[in-house]
Amino acid sequence: MAELEDDTPREKWLVDLGEKTRVDAAELAGNPFDRKQDWRSTFRATGRRGLVAAAMAVAVLFLGWNLRPASDASSTAPFDVVNGVAHLTAADPRALKEQIVADLASAGVQANGYEQLGVIGIDADLPRPLTTEARAVLDKHRLAAPSNGILRIEIAKSDR
């Protein structure tokens, strides 16, 4: 019984509060969480955190685009390198051999072209450090500079 006596003043207070605050039952109809969402209300609801998240996403996409590996088709070597020998293919191997030897000679590099046992090739001792003229010849023919300074090329006839 002591519990009922303690609840009585509380109950009176709740009843008085309910009488003071009139609630319209029509306003309570339906789900209060069902409201029309558009992009502006979503943006307002996320506030500053949404803006920061969007800025970070843009920054990540920007960095990812700018830091992607180069996939330029001209940067890939059109030949195979096996045991330090670059294997090129050309429609006219002799003409390509003469052109590379002439270009290297004009850059001040001693290059020897040869044809032995059906193999057309070039041997050259590149200057160390590599001069800009020699680098330009290698870039022109898309050849990589060998680490030991000895350029060895074999040229085969292409099927085309």
Token couple for 73: 């088709």
Q: In sequence order, what E strands does 5-158 have?
A: 80-82, 85-90, 110-116, 119-125, 150-157
CB atoms within 10 A of CB 131: 14
**How far apart, in Å, are the Cα atoms of 109 and each of 1, 11, 100?**
113, 105, 11
> 124 in helix, strand or coil?
strand
> What pLDDT does residue 74 have?
44
> What pLDDT does residue 32 have?
62
pLDDT tens digit at each of 160 positions of the chain: 455 556 688 888 888 888 888 777 777 677 766 666 777 777 777 778 888 888 999 999 999 888 877 654 444 455 666 677 888 888 888 998 999 999 999 989 899 998 988 889 999 998 888 888 989 998 888 888 888 888 899 988 887 6
> What pLDDT does residue 73 have?
44
> What pLDDT does residue 5 have?
56
Token couple for 18: 């309910």
d(CA 90, CA 122): 14
Closest by CA to 107, choosing from 139, 76, 143, 132, is 132
> What pLDDT does residue 57 have?
94
Torsions phi, psi of 129, nearest 5? -70, 160
Token couple for 17: 């509060």
d(CA 155, CA 120): 5
